[in-house]
Chains A and B, each alone.
Chain A
Amino acid sequence: MITLNVNGKTYQVNADSNTKMLWVLRDILHLTGTKYGCGIEICGACTILLDGEPVKSCDMDVTEGVGRHITTIEGLAPAHSSKLQQAWIAEQVPQCGYCQSGMLMKAAALLSRNPHPTDADIDSEMDNICVCGTYQRIRAAIHRAANS
């Protein structure tokens, strides 16, 4: 049994130690907001926060999460109430929406480190892939959240 703290709750997980965090979250804990896109740490759809820092869960062994605070999209705020989520809705960011959990986690980490990022800050930090092309609205939503 592996003990994990996810979104403030403690879970006992029965998984091989080399199981990636992504699949523990999705297939065992049924926290399916964290997405699979590439499995090779490129797309960022699987981004979660580990003690507040963004990490790609597709290439992280579940054991690396032991004793750490794990935050997934489901734990960002109740009923999409965070400034960031409200900004996402105001800017009507998502299209298909599949990449957006990863984008929001990445943006949350950016704002906690840098509450008023410039366009350049946002561009260099937000390197996840969105096939639907929502980048411009993501940038606008991050500014909106920063200014609210």
Chain B
Amino acid sequence: MKNAADTGTPSGRQSPAYSQSIEITTASELNRRQLMGLTAGLLLAFTIKDSGRAALAAGGPGVVAVNAFVGIGTDESITIYIGGGEMGQGIYSGLGQGVAEELMVDWTKVSVKPVDASHSWLTGGSSGISRHLIAMRQAGAVARDMLVQAAANTWGISTSLCKPVNGSVVNQVSGATLSYGKLAAAAAVLPVPAYGASGPTLTPDSQLRIIGKAVARPDIPSKTDGSAIYGIDVVLPNMVFAAVKHCPTLGGTVSGTITKPSGAIAVVNLGNAVAAVGTNTQQAFQLVNSVKVNWSIPASSKLIDSSLYATQQKSLLANGNPFTVQELGNVAAAFTAPKKVVDATYSLPYLPHACMEVLNCTVNLTSTTCDIYAPTQAPNLVLAQAISLTGLTAANIRIYPTMMGGGLGRKFELDYVTQAIKVAQAVKRPVKLTWSREQDMGNDRYRPSALIRIQCALDSTGNLIGWKNRIVSPSILFQRGAPGTSSDSQATEGSTDLPYGFGSRLIEYVRDPAAAPVGFWRSVGFGLNTFAVESAIDEAALAAGVDPLVYRQRLLAGNTRWLNVLNAAAALGNWSTKPPAGRARGIAICQAFGTIVAQVAEISATSPTNIRVYKVACAVDCGNAVNPNSVEAQMQGGILHGLSAAMFGQVKFAAGVPSVRNFSNSRVLRMREAPVITVSIINSGFPITGTGEPGVPPIAPAVANAYAKLTGTRLRSLPFYPNATMSDD
């Protein structure tokens, strides 16, 4: 069976274009044995070929082939084997729901297991559920049809007289039933039915029983009793423990030889770092700190410096040679004789990821095999790296993606995996390599900084007639080898294709060549650009003397989808009522990865360092919420993550040395500082899109807009409270 499903956003707005095709076949006997072991039964393999941002982000080819399997065991087990990582975003339950829906079984009957790396996909771009749900549903439907066919053959009746009900097929003539487990072996030898272009029949929306319901996530119980195994928890027999110390200056390398400190099992030169191996993690941390290293620091490292960068960004903003990202209408004319001009420049800092689980990786390497246990968002890249470092073939390497204590984009990278493989090669024993928190924060691939200027031309009635937006920011893709001969879609996402009626617009991008290492940070470019865009819209509204909600409503006239989300947030946030004394509200909206999110923040403050956010009302349209409880959780989490970053998040560089070391100087919100968040989910019927990241971008401008309303002062630079420490209150 083969068909194409275009799950792109029909509005065409701010959703990276991708297409996908799904192919479903009976799995090979080898796959069956690998995945199901001794359990006999039906196993379907499906290949989803898609081209998309995750593939692009990884610097890989534009198209990745990914696979998943659905197995019906003769022991009545129903298992889906998928390649996406669980970081708490609910992917296991989301996709399990899809299979269960079409198999017409209780969704708790479906278990979800990870597949090996060669079949895995990249976890990111908020895409796991949205891209793969349709494939999961089709696979469930194909399995269901084959089980029904097997039952019909057994009874010698037409399939139309066989009804799948709760894990069995019912003979509607005799009333007899056969369970899926009993039918699995017979179904396994049937050919996969040939369907037309539209694929197998899926449950109509009106009859969905599981998709759209707040089902309990299967990974949660194990996260309440300590039994969930994260990468850092992996224990292998005879294992030793490694820790790393990177050159304190970014870009520096080990020079000369290093001596093994007494008590160490080994020291390993890793190029830009050293590793020490001991008998427990604490000892390894201490040992590696005691290793004397002569670092050779290239002259270029000194140029990784925040004060140099500030000057450079300003000069690029004024004089850089920009790429034109988007130009619509006559911008020059709009700015020739405007009634009013808003001209504002916004700046955003570099940011560390600081996943709650530090980077770590466990490797068991022999002369013929290599097992890698890693919390990774990119198991297939880990596999490729293991092949290149060990010289073993894919068949002899097994990657076990573990539960992740946060990924946030950092666990796309391969540095920690590479180190663990190299240490395993040196010690010839199973080894777990763990970064201390200081190493984790000090050697990140930081979210790029940005300096963004927006100029708005207003006519005599305050209407926007021209919008100029110039973005200066490093390119993540360029740092990873993209040619840099065109603009960068990730640096500019959130600035282009906005549905606002700007009259005319010019969006430009100037690549900042700063060498500070940058990477994907939850919501990527949307986090940068939404702060500037939604602040500038607010500034234009104030200049026009119009309520910021009303101003946005006018600019969005005719776009019911955005308006519905905007208005839902405004209603939930009591926009039309007067806030309590000493408080003000701000609003912001964005569409990221296809999902539209609007937020109203209610705050009090007398200075940027004592901003208190009491409430956030959030409306979200992700097409349809597969699991509304998970969508709500992702909004709550995204808002707090974005708010911590907006309030405190930053890393500065001094001659190559990053400022952040630990949570002590990289503050995050605690419970007592966290706003109460209410979430309204709008099921618009548009194609399903992800929710892991889109909750992040609007909160920073919503708070800045509230602050401007409250105090008359506009906050154009993040974070609001620089240099906060964890002990400040």
Contacts and interface: CB of A to CB of B under 8 A. Distances in A.
Interface SS of A by simple majority: loop
A4 interface: no
Interface stretch (B98-106, B314-322, B665-673): B665-673
A38 B35 CA distance: 37
A23 B282 contact: yes
B281 A95 contact: no
B726 A134 contact: no
Contacts of B514: none
Contacts of A98: 230, 356-357, 405-406
Contact of B280 (A28, A45, A137): A28
B677 interface: yes
Interface stretch (B214-222, B244-252, B332-340, B602-610): B214-222
Interface in B638-686: 638-641, 644, 662-664, 668-672, 674, 676-677
B224 A94 contact: yes
B672 A97 contact: no
A129 B356 contact: yes
Contacts of B672: 123-124, 127
B663 to A, nearest CB: 5
B205 interface: no
Contacts of B501: none
B37 interface: no
Interface residues of B, number: 63
Contacts of B532: none
A1 interface: no
19 contacts: A30-B235, A36-B358, A39-B662, A40-B663, A42-B663, A42-B726, A45-B356, A74-B225, A80-B221, A92-B630, A95-B637, A96-B405, A122-B671, A123-B672, A131-B406, A131-B644, A132-B641, A133-B636, A134-B633
A73 B221 CA distance: 13
Interface centre among B88, B226, B405, B676 (most CB of A within 10 A): B226
B353 to A, nearest CB: 9
A137 B87 contact: no
Interface residues on A, range: 35 or more
Interface of B: 87-89, 216-217, 219-230, 232-233, 235, 241, 279-283, 285, 354-358, 403-408, 434, 436-437, 629-630, 633, 636-641, 644, 662-664, 668-672, 674, 676-677, 726
B663 A38 contact: yes
Given A85-B224, A130-B356, 10 more contacts: A40-B662, A45-B356, A85-B221, A96-B404, A96-B406, A97-B223, A127-B671, A131-B641, A135-B669, A135-B670
Contacts of B664: 38, 40, 42
Interface of A: 15-16, 19-20, 22-24, 26-28, 30-40, 42-43, 45, 72-74, 76-77, 79-80, 85, 88-89, 92-101, 104, 122-124, 126-139
Contacts of A101: 226
A19 B263 CA distance: 14
A37 B726 CA distance: 14
Given A27-B281, A30-B235, A96 B87 contact: yes
